[in-house]
Amino acid sequence: MKKFIFGLIVGLLIPAIGGYFYIKLGMMPVATASAPLPMEEKIAKMALKARISKEAPKSSPVTADETNMTQGAHVYVENCAFCHGFAGEKASFAAKGMFPLPPQLLSEDMVTDDPVGVTFWKVENGIRLTGMPGFKDMLTPTQMWQVSQMLAQADKLPVQTKAALAKPAAIAVAAPSTAPAPPEQQKTKRK
């Protein structure tokens, strides 16, 4: 019995000490460009899914009509496109330097399969340690539902809503000239 307890203590201590030195010696990845830890994304996704399935509203008080979705498009262009990009864009300006990457919600990584309440939850609460902000204090619940409804229909938007999602000319022109040149070492690493 004594041996067993001794073994148990040592068995628990070694990983704890190992973990401490792993972090203390600066080996833990902290830069956005570092490779993910094994299981890092899997564990983060599991935690998020479990929490959301508990809390996400099951139905929307805002309908997916053209007016609401067009309002949602304005909310998107002003608050989300910097990270989540415009239609047809491969990666937004910010999407090149973040970890995890913000999915491009109007082109490659649509959330049209997600229940609208799940998207609403993410917009309202944000996703901790990812750069996805919670908009609870910045947008009204109606605005958050409008943008969530728009994203839920992103593959079949009415013409008026699509037009409201176009990249504003000011951004299209200003972005390349005001963009600071990326540091040398990043230039070589990133596609």
Q: Which residues contact 35 (CB under 8 A, 6 or more apart)?
A: 29
Cβ(152)–Cβ(112) below 8 Å: yes
Nearest alpha-carbon partner for 164 in 147, 148, 152: 147
Residue with smaller CB distance to ligand HEC, 51 or 186: 51
Min dist CB 109 to ligand HEC, Å, is 5
Least distance in angstroms from the C-beta of 44 to ligand HEC:
6
What is the C-alpha separation between 59 and 116, in angstroms, rounded? 8
Q: CB of 70: closest distance to ligand HEC in angstroms?
A: 15
Rg (Cα) of the chain, in Å, rounded? 21
**Chain mean position to CA 139:** 17
Residue whose tokens read 């600066």: 26
CB 23: neighbour CB atoms within 10 A? 11
Q: Which of residues 111-130 bind ligand HEC (CB under 6 A)?
A: 111, 119, 122-123, 127, 130
For position 165 contacting ligand HEC by CB under 6 A, the verdict is no
Residue 97 or 158: the one with the smaller Cβ distance to ligand HEC is 97
| 132 counts as binding ligand HEC under rule CB under 6 A | yes
Residue indicated by tokens 């969530």 = 148
Least distance from ligand HEC to the Cβ atom of residue 138, Å = 8
94 counts as binding ligand HEC under rule CB under 6 A? yes
Residues that bind ligand HEC (CB under 6 A): 75, 79-80, 82-84, 94, 98, 100, 102-103, 109, 111, 119, 122-123, 127, 130-133, 135, 147
